[in-house]
Structure 1
Amino acid sequence: MNNEINPWGSTDIQDYSKLFQDFGISPFEDLIPTVPKPNKYIRRNIIFGHRGYGKIIEAIKNNEPFAVMSGFMPSGHVHLGHKMVMDQIIWHQKMGGDAFVGIADREAYSVRGSSWEMCKEIGINEYILSLIALGFKPDGHIYFQSESDKIMNLAFELGVKVNFSEMSSIYGFSGNTNISHTISALCQSADILNPQVEDNSGP
């Protein structure tokens, strides 16, 4: 059985306790009683692990600034798994979070071979329109990675801090992996860093 976990495949996980230990994940069920107005995914234990989410709960309770960030690769139709993520983004936005959504067209182009035109069409008609229909507020941030100089600049800065060996151990890259694929992974790290920079009222 393949126990390797990477962002571009699926793995049948048999032992979540080991996964929690390896990645420093804590059970979410202990936090459920403290979450203000928990959504259905929290109430039903569909969300079952976290790292440091207590800080978000405190921010919600005290009306302090926090951000929620996720992204979607525009290479196919929106499915129920995507909707679950969208619902989480929108719930956090309603709870006071500054919401960021990255449309990972660089990843779709370099990993799935999607054309730029297809990335744009799918990104808008499938993902952005779905987010808006589900309740994403206009004060949130939705962007295509390829159109964001800020994301590319952050990815470049992050690239100075890692080497190919480290990237390979994290993402499973090999000698056959194209360079743009590795850059798209740095762009995802830049997506995560973006809400934390000073321009976005980060620390």
Structure 2
Amino acid sequence: METRLDPWGAVHVEDYTKLFEEFGISSFDDILPELVDPHRYMRRKIIFGHRNYDAVLAAMKSGRPFAVMSGFMPTGRAHFGHMMVMNEIIWHQQQGGDAFAAVADMEAHAVRGISWERCRQFGIEEYILSLIALGFQPKENSHIYFQSKNYHVRNLAFELGIEANFSEVSAIYGFSGETCISHMESVMAQSADILHPQL
């Protein structure tokens, strides 16, 4: 059976070996001994796979610039899973990484139908404040933004959309003829979030 990764729902994985092979994921065990002070999630094997984290490790060791990027879809209260992601962002920032945290309001509005007003409220009150309360330093190596207000991300998403087509994103995300265009566009916004630190 084909494995499909769904960023908007729960995914149950029965065979991690197959998942690693299919998506080119390497075991984190191989590089763990090289980290001076690994995050507790790495030590406890909560983070157990990676793709090209060797480049981040090399940058850390040599003092070269590197970035960490993640985001939160503002659909409700922050929970334990969000806290885990926040802790990873904070740890990478403490290691010298340029830290990017996106509030995926365009995605929440398109995929879950959350109003722009609620997106902003959840984004600030639940995610941004929680991130800072956990130790994120908003004034050093930091970028917190709403997708809808970040024109670099929106412009990059538009350009990425030129390179993608419906059959491609449908094969990856399982879109059908019933999927709204804005939902599909949110995939380009996700990709732009991931790539824009390189700009």
What TM bracket, shorter-length normalisation? over 0.9
Equivalent residue for 1:66? 66
Q: What are structure 2's unaligned runs of at least 5 residues?
A: none
The code of the aligned residue for 1:73 comes to M
Find the aligned partners of 2:69 and 2:11 in 1 and give their Cα distance: 24
Q: Deviations over 1:167-203 (max 9, x none)?
A: 1111111100000111111001000111011xxxxxx
Equivalent residue for 1:181? 183
Find the aligned partners of 2:5 and 2:185 in 1 and give their Cα distance: 19
CA contact under 8 A between 2:71 and 2:101: conserved in structure 1?
A: yes
Find the aligned partners of 2:3 and 2:58 in 1 and give their Cα distance: 35
Q: TM-score, normalised by structure 1?
A: 0.94
Secondary structure class of the residue paired with 2:163: coil
The code of the aligned residue for 1:116 comes to W
Equivalent residue for 1:32? 32
**Displacement, 1:87?**
0.4
Find the aligned partners of 1:58 and 1:2 in 2 and give their Cα distance: 34
Aligned: 1:16 with 2:5: no
**Displacement, 1:85?**
0.5
**Displacement, 1:4?**
3.1
Find the aligned partners of 2:25 and 2:180 in 1 and give their Cα distance: 31
Q: Deviations over 1:4-34 (max 9, x none)?
A: 3211111221100000000000010111110
CA contact under 8 A between 1:2 and 1:11: conserved in structure 2?
A: no
**Displacement, 1:99?**
0.4
Find the aligned partners of 2:150 and 2:7 in 1 and give their Cα distance: 22
CA contact under 8 A between 2:105 and 2:120: conserved in structure 1?
A: yes
Find the aligned partners of 1:25 and 1:2 in 2 and give their Cα distance: 16
Find the aligned partners of 1:190 and 1:13 in 2 and give their Cα distance: 27
CA contact under 8 A between 1:3 and 1:11: conserved in structure 2?
A: no
Equivalent residue for 1:131? 131
Aligned: 1:92 with 2:84: no
Find the aligned partners of 2:119 and 2:13 in 1 and give their Cα distance: 31
Equivalent residue for 2:148? 146
Aligned: 1:50 with 2:50: yes
Aligned Cα root-mean-square deviation (Å): 1.2
Q: What are structure 1's unaligned runs of at least 5 residues?
A: 198-203
Secondary structure class of the residue paired with 2:29: coil
Find the aligned partners of 1:15 and 1:158 in 2 and give their Cα distance: 32
Extract structure 1 runs of 4+ deviating beyond 6 A: none
**Displacement, 1:36?**
1.8
Equivalent residue for 1:201? none
**Displacement, 1:2?**
8.9
Out of 157, 160, 165, the position equivalent to 1:158 is: 160
Find the aligned partners of 1:36 and 1:69 in 2 and give their Cα distance: 21
The code of the aligned residue for 2:144 comes to I
The code of the aligned residue for 1:94 comes to Q
In the alignment of these two chains, the number of paired residues is 197
Find the aligned partners of 1:50 and 1:154 in 2 and give their Cα distance: 25
Q: Deviations over 1:79-111 (max 9, x none)?
A: 111111100000000000000011000110011
Q: TM-score, normalised by structure 2?
A: 0.96
The code of the aligned residue for 2:86 comes to M
Structure 1 vs Structure 2: percent identity of aligned residues? 60
